[in-house]
Amino acid sequence: MELIERRLDGIDAYVAYFSARPLPVLKHTVRELEQLRGEEDSISARRLAAVVLGDPLMAMRVITFLEERRRQSQNHDITTIDRAIMMMGVSPFFQAFSDLPVVEDQLAGHPRALLGLLKVINRARRAAHFARDWAIVRHDLDVEEITLGALLREAAEILFWSFAPALALETQAAQRADPSLRSALAQKSVFGCSAVDIQQRLIRTWRLPELLLNLIDESHADNPRVRNIVLAGALARHSERGWDNPALPEDFEEVCRLLHIGIEPLLKRLGVPQESATRYLPDPDSSEPPVIPTGNS
């Protein structure tokens, strides 16, 4: 497949490029689906959905596939993977998603970019895990919508790594050279536009559910559901190298406020090791709050 080697001419050009090519998926996803195919007569939509939600690329394929074949009589959006599979049926699902292109093959000549892609995918999974857990704590009306929204929040960056590996590596190098450089600015300098700009246009072009666009739109951050996803993404990014990032105290404070819980139960829910958690907990022998490093990421 011809990959993007140099900057394209604006958002519309990127959207046209991504729209004209099949989305690859992880090799692990293909293997799991092949194993489950033998249980086609007894497999549940929920179990299949769990496989799909382990791979943001596969999740994008399922949602876009359903929208492309949406019946005119269907007047409501499908906003979760399990409902999408139930709408299709298990056997049609396996028929539709056979012989899938594999992203590891697509990036075989770009091993460093493949590592970058896997890092972003792992961060998306982590964000989805956080968002799902917090949605349960908040008694959200639809936990699965929150999970999918968090998983797809960085979909366009995943597409950058999958289809424009050289440019994605150039963006990464710019941020490593200047740690204060924000992702959106680095992307604009290399791609000519940010991943967020492209993602919003893609969602509209692919006619994805409006709810998904709203859930990943930070301009709606006053909405607790959006806040849930935004904070999950921030925490996943700031904790991917450990629990000592200077941006974490602010993340913890915001999540505590969202969930109406204290810092100690939050750290336990997050599985923060005790040796790292102590820096964020008040000293039991002092009335003073803990001294926590501050800063921005």
Q: Region 252-276: what's the mean pLDDT?
A: 95
Sign of CA dihedral 290, 293, 296, 297: negative
Q: Region 52-63: what's the mean pLDDT?
A: 95
Q: Would you tell me how many other CB atoms lie within 10 Å of the CB of residue 294?
A: 10
Mean pLDDT of the chain: 89
Q: How confident is the model at residue 296 (pLDDT cuts 50, 70, 90)?
A: very low
Contact 209, 77 (CB under 8 A): yes
Residue 90, token pair as written in the block: 């298990």
Q: How confident is the model at residue 248 (pLDDT cuts 50, 70, 90)?
A: very high
Contact 58, 26 (CB under 8 A): yes
Q: How far apart are CA 88 and CA 257, in angstroms?
A: 39
Predicted confidence at residue 287, as pLDDT, reads 52
Which residues does 193 contact at the CB level (< 8 Å), separation at least 6? 10, 11, 14, 187
Predicted confidence at residue 106, as pLDDT, reads 97
Kindly give the interhelix angle for 248-259 and 224-238, rounded to the nearest 10 degrees.
Answer: 150
> Nearest CA to 108 among 174, 27, 28?
27
Q: Region 165-189: what's the mean pLDDT?
A: 93
Predicted confidence at residue 284, as pLDDT, reads 66
Q: Would you tell me how many other CB atoms lie within 10 Å of the CB of residue 187?
A: 24
Predicted confidence at residue 285, as pLDDT, reads 61
Predicted confidence at residue 163, as pLDDT, reads 97
More confident residue, 250 or 74: 250
> Nearest CA to 57 among 87, 28, 36, 94?
28
- Provide the whole-model pTM: 0.90
Note the Cα 240 to chain centre separation in Å: 14
Residue 294: pLDDT over 50: no
